[in-house]
Structure 1
Amino acid sequence: MIGYASRTGTRRNLDALRRAGWRLMVSARGSLRPERFRYALDNGAWTAFQRSEPFDVPAFDKAVARLGPGADWIVLPDIVAGGLASLRFSLDWLDTLRNRSSLRGARYMLTVQNGMEPGHIVSLAGPEVGIFVGGDTPWKLATMAAWARLAHERGGLCHVGRVNTARRIRLCAAAGADSFDGSGVSRFASALPRLDLARRQPDIEGWIAGRRP
């Protein structure tokens, strides 16, 4: 699986992440410097939610203009804990971004969360629009395998947000996720070896289960 670390300016941590082959998750609400890493562009909605602020459209537009064309993918704006209202908000933004010539060929991730079901987005998922699994932790853990199956059936990617323990990384692997992001390795270089090992380990339990008669 691909691991994306929250962007950090700490040189020691950046060097460790680079050696381990991680990528960066750059937030529209943070410093727009990918530090010569491959990166994905987050929309900044989580930061706004934590601060009880509305979605920052100017910050997102600035980030997309500067970093969107080079990103692995762009997380479509969403409403944290917004359910189907978030889906409608994301789709409005998808239409907007598709009309920008600078983003021709860009890939997007649609955030799914509590209140959404695969049937709501089955016609949207595909090579251009992947699935970003958000929502609260119990919902995320219970549903991420279903979202990964849908993404892969439609030829798209599945990413799981806010994953900061080795156990959660292994659960993402078992669910079939293509990538995940977390802030732990950005803040604490000492956490990287353990989390990177979990990222690199195959889903042994899933492999064993698949070989049982």
Structure 2
Amino acid sequence: MELNRLPAWLQAYRDGHRQGNAQALAAYADYYCMDGSADMELDIEERLGYIPPPMVSYASRTGTRRNLAAMRGAGWRLLVSAAGVLRTEGFEHYALDNGAWSAYQQGTQFDERAFGRAVDLLGEDADWVVLPDIVAGGIESLDFSLRWLDRLKGFPRRLLIAVQDGMEPDDVREFLSPSVGIFLGGSTPWKLQTMAAWGVLSRRRNCYYHVGRVNSARRIGMCAAASANSFDGTSVTRFADTLPALHAALCYADYQGDLFSLAKEDVAATPFNCCWPLPSRQHCFDGAHHHEDEVI
């Protein structure tokens, strides 16, 4: 996809000749009043209760057959970067990252053309696609992402807005829906400090919530407590022998659950301000759930 044109396959979705996953989600959510409108309109009541789905794990693409086989065997999915090799390695389920993190690490400018090519080739069948962002760019990053959100109107899969240092829930709230979710990026201290708050926001907007750069059992547990839908990391990509411990942490988090997760509350019982700022999850309900958690 060059900068001056859209993928050839996207027009059919825009015209309504084809229906994608995102369109189906929007129609289902609208029927059951689960489209996030209950977040802003007090007279709207969600018709369905919230049942958090099992958390899904992604690992960055690798060409190492042993590691790929281990990932398939454990049911992990692939995260393909627009800055890397555009190959799904035979995985049925994969997601597409925009490549901004790779550019940030290498000190280079974000490659919009590379992202366009990746969307053209892999976007139609991806689980979700991260909209282009500016790492740790705050509101400037959000403005950049929203330009791409408008550009990809009618996209058949979920699009995720990367939230970065300097952003707050109210900055992105109105743009979130079952078809447009959250990708938690930013610096590591900020990410760990605010992870639970973004989970509360995703509950109120009924949107998908993904956490990036998760490479330890402890962080997998934190993702589960924040009711993240998925996470990704590079540990399994580089070292297949780390998979058993990380997969065990994922299974434990899904099985055990977190009784104090605010994101599992009904919308009416979930704070509109998402307890922002949220250095810890204590004192969020003025008497309910006085759970002391460590300050990250």
Measure how far apart 1:58 and its partner are: 1.1
Query: Aligned-pair distance for 1:205?
Result: 7.1
Is it true that 1:63 corresponds to 2:118 in the alignment? Answer: yes
Question: Does 2:94 match 1:49?
Answer: no
Residue number in structure 2 paired with 1:30 = 84
What's 2:175 paired with?
124
CA-to-aligned-CA distance 1:88-141 (integer Å, 9 cap, x gap): 000001111116xxx3x2210100011000000110111111000111111111
Q: Which residue of 2 aligns with 1:207?
A: 259
- The 1-side partners of 2:130 and 2:241 are apart by 28
Give yes or no for the alignment of 1:91 onto 2:142.
Answer: no
| Larger helix proportion of the pair | 1
Please state how far the C-alpha of 1:209 moved relative to its aligned partner: 8.6
Q: Which residue of 1 aligns with 2:26?
A: none
Say what the alpha-carbon RMSD is for the aligned residues: 1.8
CA contact (8 A) 2:225 2:261 kept: no
Aligned-pair identity (%):
58
Which consecutive residues of structure 1, in runs of 5 or more, have no partner in the other structure? none
Match of 2:52 in 1: none
Partner AA of 1:53 in structure 2: T
Structure (1 or 2) with the larger CA radius of gyration: 2
Look up the equivalent residue of 2:259 and give its one-letter code: W
What TM-score does the superposition give when structure 2 sets the normalisation length? 0.67
1:27 Cα shift?
0.1
Following superposition, the deviation at residue 146 of structure 1 comes to 1.1
2:75 to 21, 24, 27: 21
1:137 partner amino acid: T
Contact 1:148 1:157 (8 Å CA) reproduced: no
Is structure 2 residue 229 aligned with structure 1 residue 178?
Answer: yes
Matched, 1:159 2:210: yes
Segments of 5+ residues of structure 2 without an aligned counterpart are 1-54, 263-288, 291-296
Contact kept, 8 Å, 1:112 with 1:134, in 2: the verdict is yes
State the partner residue of 1:2.
Answer: 56
Of 152-161 and 40-49, more deviation after overlay is shown by 152-161
Alpha-carbon distance between aligned partners in 1 of 2:193 and 2:260, rounded to the nearest angstrom: 21
Q: Is 1:189 paired with 2:240? A: yes
Paired residues in the alignment total: 208
TM-score, normalisation: structure 1 = 0.93
User: Is contact 1:79-1:86 (8 Å) kept?
Assistant: yes
DSSP 3-state at the match of 1:34? coil
